[in-house]
């Protein structure tokens, strides 16, 4: 008897290449798109280790935990790193990037996270890209949490290394990811003697053995189940329409923000300005005398399927994350999340207005 997951025919090189082309179409890019067979940390780390080295002067923008990780890899690679840390309740501005270049004109690499699901902010990549291009620096972007929730356009924005994963707004698998690489970025890697080669982290290996060889023979056995899931997820986005998928995420963010405010009880959007709030996930600040992790635990006790989490690390006390992405980018998921949070707050003796919250969420959605 054949098993639906196990007894599959081999995934061909042609099919693998076709899935890469679908990703390229999603990103509207003419750059090389490489599918990387691991969670998005694989291309995120691989790109930094390949493109940065002892001669690199990097501007590392920190708007959440991923920016901190990138700074560590950059330092590890021997780069000189200028960190630009922005409070987690805001976004970085193109003006701040311009000032950083004015202060350190030798910057030749900029790393930025587009949207951070962990902090709920999103950054104006198009405007920042203009500044980066004016100065000729290489532009590295983590678009894992933005792709599918808002436009991600590496060519239009001058992004040289753009990493995506399917597990957030695309509603796809987590074990596979992709990166688009500009000609400039390939040249920078090729010139870097410390770029990984003959290594699982190596993007250059894949360029030489896969892209430059005409994508005819796969260098390794493909992660077949993840590739099939990625293909299915790209096809579903195409069938629904990318604009419709993004609109659902925007509506979910709007509804969550409006609903949380209407709930009263002191729950507030963590990101101050709506324009800085990521469509992929909404973060909320809890009133001082309650612990976010306790509210979330209580809400999940009543409904374990809710897309709720407390903030990571030190943020666990003050931040609730409403991860309204992928299949949870629905009014129903938002309303159930607000109702459960309202009930958890009421159980702690906080006066809340759940009907008002649900009404406000519905109005903001439509
Ligand atoms: C989610 C996310 C990733 C991927 O990390 P996971 O731990 O697999 O979810 C990478 N970068 C950003 C900005 C993310 O939000």
Q: Got the DSSP string for 103-134? A: H-TT--EEEEESEETTTTEE--HHHHHHHHHH
Identify whether the C-beta of residue 79 lies closer than 8 Å to the C-beta of residue 57. Answer: yes
- Give start and end residues of each alpha helix (H) in the chain: 13-26, 41-51, 65-76, 94-103, 125-134, 154-157, 183-190, 203-206, 224-240, 242-263, 292-302, 331-347, 354-365
323 Cα–ligand 1 center, Å? 12
The closest residue, in CA terms, to atom 13 on ligand 1 is 116
301 Cα–ligand 1 center, Å? 25
325 Cα–ligand 1 center, Å? 13
168 Cα–ligand 1 center, Å? 8
Look at the alpha carbons of 36, 115, 77, 160 in this order and tell me if their dihedral is positive or negative.
positive
Our answer on whether the CB atom of 298 is closer than 6 Å to any ligand 1 atom is: no
Name the nearest CA neighbour of 234 among 173, 154, 159, 156.
173
Our answer on whether the CB atom of 325 is closer than 6 Å to any ligand 1 atom is: no
Rounded (10°) CA dihedral 111, 113, 114, 116? -170
10: phi then psi, degrees, rounded to nearest 5: -60, 145
The residue whose two tokens read 């006066």 is 351
The closest residue, in CA terms, to atom 10 on ligand 1 is 144
Tell me the three-class secondary structure of 256-289, residue by residue. HHHHHHHHCCCCEECCCCHHHECCCCEEEECCCC
359 Cα–ligand 1 center, Å? 32
d(CA 165, CA 350): 39
pLDDT of residue 26: 98
311 Cα–ligand 1 center, Å? 14
d(CA 246, CA 108): 32
The residue whose two tokens read 């929730």 is 149
| Substitution candidate for ligand 1 out of 43, 66, 125, 162 with most atoms within 8 A of CB | 66
3-state secondary structure at position 81: strand
The mean predicted confidence, pLDDT, of the chain is 97
Name the nearest CA neighbour of 69 among 49, 89, 55, 50.
49
d(CA 284, CA 299): 14
145 Cα–ligand 1 center, Å? 6
Our answer on whether the CB atom of 145 is closer than 6 Å to any ligand 1 atom is: yes
84: phi then psi, degrees, rounded to nearest 5: -120, 100
pLDDT of residue 1: 79
Name the nearest CA neighbour of 256 among 229, 241, 278.
278
47 Cα–ligand 1 center, Å? 16
d(CA 310, CA 319): 6
With a cut of 70, which residues of the chain have pLDDT below it?
none
* Atom in ligand 1 nearest the alpha carbon of residue 117: 15
Our answer on whether the CB atom of 39 is closer than 6 Å to any ligand 1 atom is: yes
The closest residue, in CA terms, to atom 8 on ligand 1 is 39
pTM for the predicted model, two decimal places: 0.97
Ramachandran quadrant class, 8 (left: phi over 0; alpha: psi -120 to 50; beta: rest): beta
Retrieve residue 116's tokens: 């951070």
The closest residue, in CA terms, to atom 4 on ligand 1 is 40
Give the residues across from 161 on adjacent strands.
Answer: 140, 181
113 Cα–ligand 1 center, Å? 10
* Strand-strand pairing, 282-285 and 319-322: antiparallel
* Atom in ligand 1 nearest the alpha carbon of residue 174: 8
Identify whether the C-beta of residue 347 lies closer than 8 Å to the C-beta of residue 298. Answer: yes
181: phi then psi, degrees, rounded to nearest 5: -130, 125
pLDDT of residue 2: 85
Retrieve residue 146's tokens: 């933005």
Our answer on whether the CB atom of 70 is closer than 6 Å to any ligand 1 atom is: no
pLDDT of residue 314: 92
d(CA 112, CA 115): 9
Our answer on whether the CB atom of 68 is closer than 6 Å to any ligand 1 atom is: no
């Amino acid at each position: 008897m054949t098993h639906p997951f196990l007894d599959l025919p081999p995934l061909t090189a042609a099919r693998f290449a076709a899935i890469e082309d679908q990703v390229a179409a999603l990103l509207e890019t003419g750059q090389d798109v490489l599918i990387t067979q691991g969670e998005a940390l694989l291309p995120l780390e691989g790109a930094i280790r390949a493109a940065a080295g002892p001669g690199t002067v990097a501007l590392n923008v920190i708007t959440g935990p991923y920016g901190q990780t990138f700074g560590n890899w950059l330092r590890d690679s021997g780069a000189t790193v200028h960190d630009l840390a922005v409070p987690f309740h805001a976004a970085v501005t193109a003006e701040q990037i311009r000032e950083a270049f004015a202060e350190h004109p030798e910057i030749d690499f900029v790393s930025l996270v587009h949207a951070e699901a962990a902090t709920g902010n999103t950054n104006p990549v198009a405007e920042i890209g203009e500044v980066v291009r004016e100065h000729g620096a290489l532009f590295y972007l983590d678009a894992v949490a933005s792709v599918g929730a808002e436009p991600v356009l590496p060519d239009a924005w001058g992004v040289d290394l753009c990493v995506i994963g399917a597990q957030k707004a695309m509603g796809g698998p987590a074990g596979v990811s992709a990166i688009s690489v500009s000609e400039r970025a390939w040249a920078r890697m090729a010139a870097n003697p410390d770029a990984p080669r003959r290594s699982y982290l190596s993007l250059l290996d894949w360029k030489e053995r896969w892209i430059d060889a005409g994508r005819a023979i796969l260098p390794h056995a493909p992660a077949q189940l993840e590739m099939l899931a990625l293909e299915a997820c790209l096809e579903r986005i195409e069938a629904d329409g990318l604009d419709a998928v993004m609109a659902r995420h925007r509506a979910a963010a709007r509804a969550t923000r409006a609903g949380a405010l209407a709930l009263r009880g002191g729950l507030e959007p963590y990101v101050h300005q709506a324009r800085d709030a990521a469509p992929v996930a909404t973060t909320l600040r809890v009133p001082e005398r309650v612990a976010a992790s306790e509210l979330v635990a209580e809400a999940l006790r009543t409904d374990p399927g809710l897309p709720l989490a407390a903030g990571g690390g030190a943020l666990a006390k003050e931040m609730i994350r409403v991860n309204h992405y992928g299949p949870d980018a629905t009014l129903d998921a938002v309303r159930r999340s607000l109702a459960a949070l309202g009930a958890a707050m009421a159980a702690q003796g906080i006066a809340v207005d759940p009907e008002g919250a649900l009404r406000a969420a519905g109005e903001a959605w439509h």
